[in-house]
């Protein structure tokens, strides 16, 4: 059974940094992609970033471009999200996600369209 387990959430002041990690297990090899979605209180889930495990291409939501960086581990079953210059509006539960139903990563992030996600980790940014 495939599982996605997140680590690294917590509380930080605005302007600070956090690094999230996610380990996937249960795949025969790896998912075709891994990424992150988030959900703030009272808001819909929002795609944050995605990386193709096949060629390493990445796509980011406009709200995090230039501040967040997604990367993958050598085994392609680990994904990281380095979050810098955090803002209060980044406060949300962050979910690791995998299994892209389309090679159009822009659509995957914008809708978002991942096939599965983990239990989530809380990120709280205070002023």
Point out which residues pair with 59 in neighbouring strands.
Answer: 50
pLDDT digits (tens, 9 = 90+) for 11-32: 999 999 999 999 999 998 889 9
- Helix spans in 1-127 (H): 105-110
First to last CA, the chain: 40
For the stretch 102-119, pLDDT in tens is: 999 999 999 999 999 999
The C-alpha atoms of residue 119 and residue 97 are separated, in whole angstroms, by 10
- pLDDT value of residue 81: 98
Mean pLDDT, the chain, rounded, equals: 96
Interatomic CA distance for residues 15 and 5, integer angstroms:
26
> What is d(CA 114, CA 96) in angstroms, rounded to the nearest whole number?
10
What pLDDT does 29 receive? Answer: 85
Q: Enter the DSSP assignment of 77.
A: S
């Amino acid at each position: 059974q495939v599982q996605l387990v997140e680590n690294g959430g917590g509380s930080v002041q605005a302007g600070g940094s956090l690094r999230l990690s996610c380990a996937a297990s249960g795949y025969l090899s790896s998912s075709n992609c891994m990424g992150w979605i988030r959900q703030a209180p009272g808001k819909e889930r929002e795609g944050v970033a995605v990386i193709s495990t096949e060629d390493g291409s990445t796509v980011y939501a406009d709200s995090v471009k230039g501040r967040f960086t997604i990367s993958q581990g050598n085994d392609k079953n680990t994904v990281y999200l380095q979050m810098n210059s955090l803002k209060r509006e980044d406060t949300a539960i962050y979910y690791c996600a995998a299994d892209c139903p389309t090679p159009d990563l822009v659509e995957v992030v914008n809708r978002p369209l991942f096939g599965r996600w983990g239990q989530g980790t809380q990120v709280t940014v205070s002023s």
